[in-house]
Amino acid sequence: MTTILAVRRGNEVVVAGDGQVSVGQTVMKGTARKVRRLSPGGRDVVVGFAGSTADAFTLLERLERKLESAPGQLQRACVELAKDWRTDKYLRNLEAMLIVTDGAQVYVVTGAGDVLEPEHDVAAIGSGGNFALAAARGLMESNLDAETVARRAMAIAADICVYTNANLVVERIAA
């Protein structure tokens, strides 16, 4: 249970994630880092994950390998990961979702085999994802920069979703 939000403004993407780890109705940790920067082949990619942490780490490792075998081809790496995730007997049982960006492209990758490009330059996943998405889309009508939109939208999600807190990790990446 978490909230991850990606906001693109101009040539920059900001990915924000809350820090709450919940087991059932109990908050186990409030300062987890669910947004990470990968640098396969020297090229930065920012990934945010929602769902089971162990499952997400498995997917991050696989994504990193895909990016190393297809340098500079984020879409291809994401599609290959989604195909493996859907068809591999072990991976098929993983419960997580990813937002992946290289600053130029943003994708939501799911275990159902989906690799989705967001509309309106905003993507969100996790238990508070719909709250953050709605807030960010409303804020996109303003002249706020990407980080301010992301922080304000995440604050709104944290006020509404009991599985989301206001301890944010924010990563910026330019195209």
Cα-Cα-Cα-Cα dihedral sign, residues 38, 9, 158, 95: negative
Q: Is 26 a catalytic residue?
A: no
**Taking the CA atoms of the chain, what radius of gyration do you get in angstroms?**
15
53 is known to lie in a ligand binding site? no
What is the C-alpha separation between 139 and 49, in angstroms, rounded? 23
Tell me whether residue 148 is exposed, middle or buried, using C-beta atoms within 10 angstroms of its C-beta: 0 to 12, 13 to 18, 19 or more: middle
158 is known to lie in a ligand binding site? yes
161 is known to lie in a ligand binding site? yes
Tokens at residue 30, please? 């409030």
Q: Is the CB of residue 93 less than 8 Å from the CB of residue 100?
A: no
What is the C-alpha separation between 100 and 10, in angstroms, rounded? 17
In angstroms, how far apart are the furthest CA atoms of the chain?
Answer: 47
How many H helices and E strands in the chain? 4, 11
Catalytic pick among 2, 53, 87, 110: 2
What residues form the annotated binding site? 158, 161, 164
What residues form the annotated binding site for Na(+)? 158, 161, 164
**Residues with catalytic annotation?**
2
